[in-house]
Structure 1
Amino acid sequence: MLQLIFRNKCAACFRQFNKIEHLVEHMRTSYHSSHEPSCGICKKHCRSFESLREHVIGPLPKQECKNIFSSRGCKFCLSVFDSPYTLRLHQDRCQLSGVTGLIGRFSNLGIRDNLDHGNYTRGSSGQTVALACKMVGGGSDGSLDLCGRVCLTDEYDNIIFHTYVKPPMPVTNYRYETTGIRPEYLRDAMPQRQVQKKLQDFLCNGEPMWKIRPRAGKARILVGHGLDHDLDSLQIEYPALMIRDTAKYPPLMKTSKLSNSLKYLTQAYLGYDIQSGIQDPFEDCVATMKLYMRMRSQVHKIEPYPLATDPQNRNNFASWRQNELERMSPEQMLDISRSDFYCWCLDRRDT
């Protein structure tokens, strides 16, 4: 009986099934892979870091894992270390200082609205930039979001482009309490159409939109939080395959598969606070880029075809292979299972 239970136990999430065909169906729809967050103690796979956090910290953690994690686990990246001493050494690097917020406030002192391609065209393959906007209100009740300020930074928190934006329609609510934007800031600001063209040209980096591809191209990877909203407000089109959105990245989403706020993600996974009082788009750029870099730096098993959508993997769990799959062990089924999302660690391997 114990052997039967072990055979019908998922090697990734440890769910148990009465029949082997139920386990096969679970593997067919779960898309378990090495790219899922996993517990450094019991090796259980979780669909998101929030699920992993619940597993090792609470509110209903696995007690054995919680006991070990409490002394040797990093509450930011959720890694587990050999000793409390190595954990302390790691946390000095893992928890980022809130000084970035102070730097963001200083960025208010200057506007950098000249997008100089000269400094960024060399070695541009695989280059990554972060974008953030702050919205003012339009329409009769001020509820229509209009871009009033935009910032673009590189991987090293250097400001590439930073300007106020003059919307194409009248502003009826400047939302000063959070944006810090006053009417005089937008009176002679750069028109939105001009901002749109500068950003679009910079992101595409000389490549036609139809030719942009994720590997070995010139176009830049764009990082942000809620980028659909930002790009829509600027009326910019950009291929989804070049966008890295921290609001839509499955490992950073809630257990319920809803988005977390950037404020929460920064506090939980970077260890400092943002968006208190008047908000600076530079702060948002820095936070999203650091989240992206943290996710990109993860070390996962290297697979020649890492996605379930790759042609070589489409028949891994085909119904006509049912008998063959039922003869496999849970570990063998996990070995042929592939992810249903693009893990950002793959960006590192492509560069």
Structure 2
Amino acid sequence: MDSSSDAHGRHRCAACFRQFNKMEHLVEHMRAARHSGHEPRCDICRKHCRSFEALRDHLGVGGSTLPKAASCADAFAARGCAICLRVLAGAGAASLGAHRAACRLSRTPPPRALQQHHRTQPQGGALALGCKMVGAGSDGSLDVCARVCVIDEQENVLFEAFVRPLLPVTHYRYETTGIRPEHLRDGASVTVKSAQRRVEELLLDGEQPWRARTSRGRARLLVGHGLDHDLHALHMDYPAYLKRDTATYPPLMKTSKLSNSLRFLTLNYLGYEIQTGHQHPFEDCVAAMRLYRRMRGQQHHPRADAHAPAPAADDQQPFPSWRQRELERMTPEDLLRLSTPDYHCWCLDA
């Protein structure tokens, strides 16, 4: 009997290990779940998880251990890294300590004189955008952009400025932003239009806006956290296929499909704290870019599966209903190789 079926003839998913009485139910599960080799996976039992938060729960990171994963949690506690969630098999205490130290990054304070760090030529194919908002409206609850920062992949500042909002500011939120009225006066700040134009110049890199929406060309990837909110504050639009948002990237989201805060992601997946005291958009840009680079640098197994069958012609429907009988004759492992994720994995940008 196949290793993926138990003694009662039940069929087990090769990714999440759920069991089904009928093969057609397993096929329907794979059609809905869209499991793939791009999902976070336990290095011990090889179980796939929909997000890193689900994998953390599976490995007992943070103290909560699932009953069925007690052995994985014990092995992870002895040989695992709580930042990258990898388990180093056969590693000694010295090598494990060195790995954990390398994974835990240090906080980078904003440069004291940002103008001295500006560069005209970005390094790398992605830029990170960060904005800080102040309050407008009668109760100060309307977010308007008052500070913007753009960095490249090497964390060089390409553009940083205070921005004069179009609406009167009723709440400067000084406790978190550190912004005062004198920062937004003429001569100390730029207009929203000027900031928008400069950010667009950096992102498009000489490409025509219409071409960036149809073909990438020279246009750069845009990294950030809550990008739609920041772009709306700058009265900008950017193609969705060029955006890399750490707030909506499925592996970095909660198991409930809600977004994690940038502060939570930085603490758990980079190892240091941000947004303490007065917050600078440079710090948010660096955190988002580091998260993106860490996700992009993951080595996923589809690259090494030379023996895997070719994917379906229609990637949006890897398990079409007209192939139902053929799919039911496949093994769970073949179904998993055939499946494609329902999101763009950032490892494909490398």
Do both proteins adopt the same fold according to a TM-score greater than 0.5, normalized to the shorter chain? yes
1:76 aligns with 2:109: no
**CA distance in structure 2 between the partners assigned to 1:283 and 1:3 by the alignment:** 51
> How do 1:261-300 and structure 2 match up within 5 A?
261-300=261-300
1:88 maps to which residue? Answer: 97
1:175 maps to which residue? Answer: 173
The amino acid of 2:232's aligned partner reads D
What is the Cα deviation at residue 313 of structure 1?
A: 3.1
1:252 aligns with 2:243: no
What is the Cα deviation at residue 20 of structure 1?
A: 1.1
Aligned pair in 2 of structure 1 residues 226, 95: CA closer, same or farther (>3 Å)?
same
What is the Cα deviation at residue 110 of structure 1?
A: 3.0
**CA distance in structure 2 between the partners assigned to 1:214 and 1:259 by the alignment:** 29
> How do 1:193-212 and structure 2 match up within 5 A?
193-212=193-212
Aligned pair in 2 of structure 1 residues 154, 262: CA closer, same or farther (>3 Å)?
same
1:343 maps to which residue? Answer: 345
**CA distance in structure 2 between the partners assigned to 1:5 and 1:157 by the alignment:** 56
1:53 aligns with 2:56: yes
SS in 1 for 2:274: coil
Give the structure-2-normalised TM-score: 0.90
Q: 1:64 aligns with which of 48, 67, 71?
A: 71
> How do 1:281-320 and structure 2 match up within 5 A?
281-300=281-300, 301-302=302-303, 311-314=313-316, 316-320=318-322
SS in 2 for 1:271: coil
> How do 1:24-173 and structure 2 match up within 5 A?
24-57=27-60, 58-61=63-66, 62-82=69-89, 83-85=91-93, 86-98=95-107, 100=108, 103-104=109-110, 107=111, 109-112=112-115, 117=120, 119-120=121-122, 127-173=125-171
The amino acid of 1:338's aligned partner reads T
**CA distance in structure 1 between the partners assigned to 2:211 and 2:7 by the alignment:** 53
**CA distance in structure 1 between the partners assigned to 2:293 and 2:98 by the alignment:** 20
What is the Cα deviation at residue 112 of structure 1?
A: 3.5
**CA distance in structure 1 between the partners assigned to 2:9 and 2:233 by the alignment:** 53
**CA distance in structure 2 between the partners assigned to 1:170 and 1:81 by the alignment:** 55
SS in 1 for 2:100: helix
The amino acid of 2:327's aligned partner reads L
Unmatched 5+ stretches in structure 2: none
What is the Cα deviation at residue 326 of structure 1?
A: 1.0
CA contact under 8 A between 1:32 and 1:338: conserved in structure 2?
yes
Aligned pair in 2 of structure 1 residues 215, 155: CA closer, same or farther (>3 Å)?
farther
SS in 1 for 2:257: coil
1:126-180 superposed Cα distances (whole Å, 9 cap, x missing partner): 6111110000111111111110101111111111111100111211111100000
SS in 2 for 1:132: strand
What is the Cα deviation at residue 114 of structure 1?
A: 11
SS in 2 for 1:21: helix
Q: 2:323 aligns with which of 321, 326, 330?
A: 321
CA contact under 8 A between 1:112 and 1:160: conserved in structure 2?
no
SS in 2 for 1:112: helix
The amino acid of 1:323's aligned partner reads R
The amino acid of 2:98's aligned partner reads L
CA contact under 8 A between 1:5 and 1:17: conserved in structure 2?
no
The amino acid of 1:91's aligned partner reads R
1:56-111 superposed Cα distances (whole Å, 9 cap, x missing partner): 0152331110111001111011011022433212112100123x1xx22xx3x335
SS in 2 for 1:25: helix
What is the Cα deviation at residue 3 of structure 1?
A: 4.0
The amino acid of 2:64's aligned partner reads P
Matched length = 334
Report sequence identity in percent: 54
**CA distance in structure 1 between the partners assigned to 2:8 and 2:131 by the alignment:** 53
The amino acid of 2:321's aligned partner reads S
CA contact under 8 A between 2:118 and 2:156: conserved in structure 1?
no
**CA distance in structure 2 between the partners assigned to 1:133 and 1:16 by the alignment:** 47
The amino acid of 2:24's aligned partner reads E
| RMSD of Structure 2 on Structure 1 (CA) | 2.4
**CA distance in structure 1 between the partners assigned to 2:117 and 2:80 by the alignment:** 45
Aligned pair in 2 of structure 1 residues 293, 84: CA closer, same or farther (>3 Å)?
same
Q: Which moved more, 1:1-10 or 1:152-161?
A: 1-10
**CA distance in structure 2 between the partners assigned to 1:186 and 1:262 by the alignment:** 26
Unmatched 5+ stretches in structure 1: none
